[in-house]
Amino acid sequence: MTDIGIKEFFVKASNRLPDEAERVLKALVEEGSMNKEELSLTARVKRAVLDHIIMQLYALGLVEVSTEGKSKICSLTKLGNDFIYLVKAG
Residue 85 confidence (pLDDT) above 90? no
| CATH class label, 3-89 | mainly alpha
Q: What is the mean pLDDT of the chain?
A: 90
What is the pLDDT averaged over residues 12-16? 88
Torsional class of 87: left (φ above 0), alpha (ψ -120 to 50), beta (otherwise): alpha
pTM, two decimal places: 0.86
For residue 10, the tally of other CB atoms under 10 A from its CB is 21
